[in-house]
Chain A
Amino acid sequence: MIRRVSNVVEDRAGGASFMRAALRYVFPDHWSFLLGEIALYSFVVLVATGTFLALFYSPSNAVTVYHGGYAPLAGQEMTKAYASGLSLSFDVPAGLLMRQTHHWAALVFVAAITMHLLRIFFTGAFRKPRDVNYYVGLTMLIIAVLEGYLGYSLLDDLLSGMGLAIGYSAALSIPIVGAHLATLIWNGPFPGTDAFFSRMFIAHVFILPAVLAALIGFHLAMIARPHHTQFAGPGRTERNVVGIPMWPGYALRSVGLLLAVAGVLFMMGGLIQINPIWLWGPYHTYQATNGAQPDWYLGWLIGALRLVPSFDVTIGDYTLIPNPFWGGILFPTLVFGFLYAWPAIERRRTGDHAQHNLLDRPRDAPSRTAVGAAVFTFVATVFFAGSADRAFVQIGVGYEIQVWIYRALTLVLPFVAYWVTRRVCEELRARELALGTASPIRRIRRGPGGGFTAPGA
């Protein structure tokens, strides 16, 4: 049987030796290498559950009167989009399970990508030959965040409408072109027309997932070509990779992870309520709810929008740059700009243009680790500032005071994080050097004066 299949592969594609090499491909073992796989498997669950949802969702903001299974909203005017979301939750068999699993999977998807990004950054895995793949990964993170935002906006409940209003304002705030861009996307002034909902739907279920799938394929191919990175250890060099072969050991482990991710997501989807849109009610431009929070991966943006003090850039009495630009456009542009630029910045700082297949431990590159910790702290502080209204309700510290504290913290904490991280890395390394257990992998450079330096140490 196996021989017959192998023969088919060889006779039709001459692929037997290629397949054998693929089956013996070596995966080095470390728990942190699984973060990207969790993201991949969340994407699988997203496509599966999303396909189910797309069969019932209706992308239209035409007004209808609700007569579905949720009695408290019976007789209310709402958009067809919101009504189909309610019908998915109450009338379609297993619809709520699929909707909630899809939502949880989206949250886990972005979380896993973010953790994976942190792993890649702090271990130096973005260095040549993997810098291009790092840019692809960053691009996928941006698309994933946008995809999630579109996903919960499609439902047209009160919260998602508020989110779209903010998105519209951020688009509108882009200097010079903003108004044109926003009316182009929304097919007119907010809240837009039916066409806007079709566009969101097509973008969410086709364009962005197709782009993501293509980039995932490229990402995996670009991992396999130079082979996986590995941490330094006995027998592990820049020119080899030590670990478990794909078949059978790693394939079974990885299938196990896929099933575990899917199992946990479906259990969450069944047991833990998320985004109960029937409680928020339909969106109207003249309504809003207090204590509104977006999905977690937009927390940093709502935090930024809230922290910026009141000012527009004006010429005379005319606005040039409206306020949402700072938190909604400039802030994420700078954060991602930093992430995209970092490999080049590090090459320039260290003069290191070599190929790297062995990973750094964070302490092995104190400078990079400290810069990364500072930027992470900055974004995290802004993220937590986004929850100040909730904290006000929970612990009673005044909202305005909290915002002033957060404004100060965003300016101070990154420097503290930089200094502390750098010291910790250097201390850890110094202790290892004293004990003789320091990682021996270190680039030593000889300067023009004849002295030796270890960049980043």
Chain B
Amino acid sequence: MSAVKALARGLWRYLVAAILVVFGRRRTDESSEEGLVERDARSSPRAELAVAALLGLAAIAAVAFVLVYVASLDTQLLGLAFGLALLLLAAAAVVAAKAVVVQEERIEERPGFSHPDGGDSEAVTELESTIAGAADGISRRRLLGAATGAAGVALGAAVVVPLASLGPSVDDRLRANPWGAGVRLVDEKGRPIPASVLETGSFLTAFAEGAPTEELTNAVVVVRVDPSDLELPPDRSDWAPRGILAYSKVCTHAACSVNLFRKPLYPPQSPGPALVCPCHYSTFDVLRGAKVVFGPAGRPLPQLPLRIDRGDLVAAGGLSGNPGPAWSGVRES
């Protein structure tokens, strides 16, 4: 049954196609243009009126835009008026396209590019012989080819080399940071930071005294925890006087500022205190030397050993590692 239906369907399709071909040809003969299968030049008077009205409204909206610009400069009204003018023009164009101008359908033959039976066409063969013909009668082809190649490569390299003047080469500039033993921690305004301002569970941002605050390797985050909770590596046991710790504030993953401090609300159930980067949520364990406990960062935040000098926070040494994002050749920890 379905086979019969399929056959009927196929026949019907061929019938339609045949009718279309015949019909198309005949119409083509009638009109002056090749491939034209349908041409309906009856414009609807109502559509013409509608287009005129839309164009008029568009003009009004455009004038309104100018008036708003002169009178109030309100962003909403400006956008509304100008957008409306364009949309009304668009509507006019579409109505005109569908109901005013002549309606046509056309069949166009495509240019045939390839040889229908596969293989290279005559044009390709001729093109090849035209290009290759330039070398007719040359005896030292390989020598000339090699010499041209050498000149081209050398000149290309010479052209690329000035790109190096774009920036300084990587010397120790990526490794340089302003921290070292005796450097005082200061706030954004350059004032020293007394240890007493930090309560347990609080955190703040500090900079190396005298160094530009915008330098990526400068900022450290200072947090205070209960000293009895600390589980720092043995060689860092005296780096956190009164439970005050300092870590580089720049995420070792992608250089965002580690701006979030997760403080446990109810320590028995919550995860421990951690510094979190808001870009990709790398999470660093404050109690264990900023070890990565979640997120993509591959290295811990470098720690800054602290001491308290006449009440103020001072670096007791350099950062434990390279601050900021990593590159090939930087130390992991």
Contacts of A305 in B (CB 8 A): 253-254, 279-280, 296
Contacts of A351 in B (CB 8 A): none
Complex Cα distance, B167 from A199, in Å, reads: 12
CB distance from B332 to the nearest CB of A (A): 5
CB distance from A430 to the nearest CB of B (A): 12
Complex Cα distance, B328 from A322, in Å, reads: 7
A312 touches B257 (CB 8 A): no
Q: Which of B279-323 contact A (CB under 8 A)?
A: 279-282, 292, 294-299
B79 touches A93 (CB 8 A): no
> Would you call B64 an interface residue if the criterion is a C-beta within 8 Å of the partner chain's C-beta atoms?
no
B69 touches A319 (CB 8 A): no
Partner of B173, one of A188, A234, A266: A188
Given contacts A234-B17, A253-B97, are A310 and B292 in contact (CB under 8 A)? yes
Classify chain B's interface size. 35 or more
Contacts of B277 in A (CB 8 A): 288
Complex Cα distance, B108 from A241, in Å, reads: 5
> Would you call A436 an interface residue if the criterion is a C-beta within 8 Å of the partner chain's C-beta atoms?
yes
Mark B87-98 against chain A: 1 for CB-CB distance below 8 A, else 0. Answer: 111111110111
Contacts of A288 in B (CB 8 A): 256-259, 277-279
> Would you call A179 an interface residue if the criterion is a C-beta within 8 Å of the partner chain's C-beta atoms?
yes
Partner of B255, one of A190, A241, A252: A190
A312 touches B326 (CB 8 A): yes
A235 touches B107 (CB 8 A): yes
Given contacts A267-B80, A286-B219, A323-B253, are A185 and B329 in contact (CB under 8 A)? no
CB distance from B262 to the nearest CB of A (A): 11
Given contacts A270-B80, A317-B332, A436-B10, are A249 and B110 in contact (CB under 8 A)? no
Partner of B166, one of A166, A175, A184: A184
Complex Cα distance, B79 from A101, in Å, reads: 9
CB distance from A41 to the nearest CB of B (A): 11
CB distance from A247 to the nearest CB of B (A): 9
> Would you call A284 an interface residue if the criterion is a C-beta within 8 Å of the partner chain's C-beta atoms?
yes
Complex Cα distance, B215 from A257, in Å, reads: 49
Complex Cα distance, B127 from A455, in Å, reads: 34
Complex Cα distance, B224 from A226, in Å, reads: 71
Complex Cα distance, B170 from A185, in Å, reads: 12
- Tell me the number of A-to-B contacts counted with CB atoms below 8 Å: 325
Contacts of A93 in B (CB 8 A): 69, 73
> Would you call B148 an interface residue if the criterion is a C-beta within 8 Å of the partner chain's C-beta atoms?
no
Q: Which of A247-265 contact B (CB under 8 A)?
A: 248-250, 252-253, 255-260, 262-265
A173 touches B167 (CB 8 A): no
B254 touches A165 (CB 8 A): yes
Complex Cα distance, B90 from A182, in Å, reads: 46
B327 touches A242 (CB 8 A): no
A166 touches B256 (CB 8 A): yes
A235 touches B21 (CB 8 A): yes
B106 touches A243 (CB 8 A): yes
Complex Cα distance, B245 from A318, in Å, reads: 25
A179 touches B170 (CB 8 A): yes
> Would you call B78 an interface residue if the criterion is a C-beta within 8 Å of the partner chain's C-beta atoms?
yes
Contacts of B328 in A (CB 8 A): 175-176, 178-179, 319-322
A306 touches B104 (CB 8 A): no
Partner of B89, one of A129, A243, A259: A259
Q: A129-B113, A286-B213 are in contact. List 18 more A-B contacts (CB 8 A).
A: A169-B253, A172-B325, A179-B328, A185-B166, A185-B167, A234-B16, A252-B94, A256-B97, A260-B90, A264-B87, A267-B87, A284-B214, A285-B255, A317-B333, A322-B327, A435-B9, A436-B10, A437-B9
9 pairs of residues in contact across A and B, judged by CB atoms under 8 Å: A100-B75, A189-B215, A190-B216, A252-B93, A263-B87, A263-B90, A270-B78, A286-B213, A310-B297
Which 10 A-B pairs give the minimum distances between C-beta atoms?
Answer: A270-B79, A267-B83, A436-B6, A263-B86, A312-B298, A256-B93, A252-B97, A263-B87, A259-B90, A322-B326
